Chains A and B, each alone.
Chain A
C-alpha cells in the first residue's frame, strides 16, 4: 500500500483503529519519483496537495537575500513535507537529498478523511506540532550549544527518528547529506563542521561517510549531544493515547 509509511508515522504518536488505518492508507492517490537535488515544494507555492515521503530523504531550507542558506529540517520516509500548505502559503523550499519516491495527497481528500475521522485530524495536527518541537530544539542548539554538541545532537535525533520508522539496522542508517548541509543546518562554518566531525570520529563515537551514518558509541554520542529525546514525543504520546483508549 502506498500510504503505509504515513500510517506508521502517525502511529508513532497515537494508536489508530483498523478503520482509521485503512483511511490513512488510502490517502495517497499517486506517486512520483524525484531526482536528487530536485525541489518538492518551492517558497511562494500554494499547493493543492500534500507530499509525503515514501522513500528517500529531503531537506527544508531558505536562502536569505545575501545568499546565506539555512537548513531548517531533514525529512525521512513517512514525513509530510508540506502539511502547512493545507493552511498557509509555503515560506520555504523542500528539496530531495537523494532520489525520492513521493506520495501525493490531494488536500480535498485529506480534508474529507479528517472530517470523517477526528482522530486522524488530531494525528496530522500532532505531526505538525512535533515538527515545531524539532524546530525549537534546533534553535536551542544554535543559540546555546557548542558546535560539538550540535553535531552530536543532530545525529542522535536522526538515528532515533529513523529507528522509529524501521530504517536503522545495527546502528547504521542512510543519511545522505554533505558537510555543507550540516553547516547550513547548524549555523556553522564549513571548516568548523569538518574539524568537529573529525573530533567525533576520533573519539570513536560515530562514522559518517558517503551518506552512511554508523553510531559506534550510543551512550557516548548522547552525552556529547546532551540529547534527551523528550521533544520527539514518541513514547509519551503513545502511552497517553493507550491509557485514554
Chain B
C-alpha cells in the first residue's frame, strides 16, 4: 500500500484487532470504508431512542455513552464508548433504537452507511464474525455492569469501572504510561453505576486516600494497579480481549 489508512480508519482497525485477527486484505477493505466525519459537542445526542439509523457511528475522538431516560427524568447510562468503538452497531440488524447515544465530551464521529458495512460483511465472512464478536462482547460488558449494580458495593463498582476503562483504553493504545483520559463527571458516574453523586464523591475520596489513583482534571493516573483491581473485584476476562491486551 502506497499510503496507510487514515487516522479514522486506523481507529476502527485497531479496535477490531483487539478482538479478532485480521488479514492484510481485510485491513485494506476496512481502510476503504466510506466515512462521513462529523464533530460533536459535549452533552449532545448522536442518536435518539425511537430513531431508525441508516448509518453506523464510529467514535473517532471523545467519550460517548448509551443511555435511557426514565419517566421521572432519571437517566441510566448503560455503557461507555471510546475511540474505535461502534456503539450503534446493533442498528444494522435491529431497526429501531431502544436507547439513545450521547456524548460526554466534545469529539468526532465517523458515519458509515449500513449498506457499506453489509457489503463488507458479504465479502469478508471473517469481518462479519469480528463484528458479531464485538456485539457479543458488548453484551458481556452489559452483563458485567448488571452484576455490579445488582451485587457489588459502591466502592467496588467505581473501582471496577476505572479498571475497565483503563484496560480498554490500553488495548486501544489510548494511554501513556499509567495515565489515561477519563473525562466523566461525578453525576455521570452516578448515572452509570446507580449511585448518588454524594456517594460517588465519597468513594472517589477513599480511592484517592488509599493511594490507588489520582484524578486530575480529565486524566486518571493509576498508582497501584494490583490493589485497584482487588478493590474493584476486577477480572478482565469479560472483555474477551485477544492476547496480551488484557493484564
- Are these two chains actual partners, yes or no? yes
Seen from chain A, the residues whose Cβ lies within 8 Å of a Cβ on chain B are 60, 62, 64-66, 68-70, 72, 83-84, 87-89, 91-92, 115, 118, 121-122, 125-126, 128-133, 135-140, 142-145, 184, 186-187, 226, 230-231, 233, 236-237, 240
- Cβ–Cβ contact A187 & B149, under 8 A: yes
Seen from chain B, the residues whose Cβ lies within 8 Å of a Cβ on chain A are 49-50, 52, 66, 68, 70-71, 74-76, 78-79, 90, 93-96, 98-99, 122, 125, 128-129, 132-133, 135-140, 142-143, 145-147, 149-152, 191, 193-194, 233, 237-238, 240
Q: For residue A62, which residues in chain B have a CB less than 8 angstroms away from its CB?
A: 143, 147
Cα A144 to Cα B147 in complex, Å, equals 15
Among A70, A135, A140, the residue within 8 A (CB) of B139 is A135
Cα A129 to Cα B74 in complex, Å, equals 25
Q: For residue B145, which residues in chain A have a CB less than 8 angstroms away from its CB?
A: 139
- Cβ–Cβ contact A72 & B146, under 8 A: yes
> A129 with B135: in contact, given A89-B237, A92-B143, A236-B96 (CB under 8 Å)?
yes
> A122 with B93: in contact, given A64-B152, A136-B68, A139-B146 (CB under 8 Å)?
yes
- Main DSSP-derived SS at the A contact region: helix
Q: For residue A143, which residues in chain B have a CB less than 8 angstroms away from its CB?
A: 76, 149, 191, 193-194
Of all chain A residues, the one with the shortest Cβ separation from B194 is: A143
Among A65, A70, A91, the residue within 8 A (CB) of B150 is A70
Cα A69 to Cα B129 in complex, Å, equals 31
- Cβ–Cβ contact A144 & B74, under 8 A: yes
A–B Cβ pairs within 8 angstroms, 25 of them: A64-B147, A64-B151, A70-B147, A72-B146, A88-B133, A88-B240, A89-B240, A91-B238, A125-B93, A129-B90, A132-B142, A133-B90, A133-B94, A135-B142, A138-B146, A139-B78, A139-B142, A139-B149, A140-B78, A143-B191, A186-B150, A230-B49, A233-B94, A237-B95, A237-B96
Q: For residue A144, which residues in chain B have a CB less than 8 angstroms away from its CB?
A: 70, 74-76, 194
Cα A69 to Cα B152 in complex, Å, equals 10
For the complex formed, measure the closest distance between the CB of B119 and the CB atoms of chain A, giving whole angstroms: 12
- Known contacts A60-B143, A135-B142, A137-B98; 16 additional CB pairs below 8 A are A69-B151, A84-B139, A88-B140, A125-B132, A129-B135, A132-B139, A135-B139, A135-B143, A136-B78, A136-B99, A144-B70, A144-B76, A187-B149, A233-B94, A233-B98, A236-B95
Among B95, B98, B150, the residue within 8 A (CB) of A133 is B98
Q: For residue A60, which residues in chain B have a CB less than 8 angstroms away from its CB?
A: 143
Of all chain B residues, the one with the shortest Cβ separation from A88 is: B240
Quick one: which of B50, B142, B150 has the most chain A CB within 10 A?
B150
Q: For residue A65, which residues in chain B have a CB less than 8 angstroms away from its CB?
A: 233
- Cβ–Cβ contact B139 & A128, under 8 A: yes
Q: For residue A187, which residues in chain B have a CB less than 8 angstroms away from its CB?
A: 149-151
- Cβ–Cβ contact A128 & B132, under 8 A: yes
For the complex formed, measure the closest distance between the CB of A157 and the CB atoms of chain B, giving whole angstroms: 13
Among B98, B99, B140, the residue within 8 A (CB) of A91 is B140
Q: For residue B99, which residues in chain A have a CB less than 8 angstroms away from its CB?
A: 136, 231
- Cβ–Cβ contact B150 & A142, under 8 A: yes
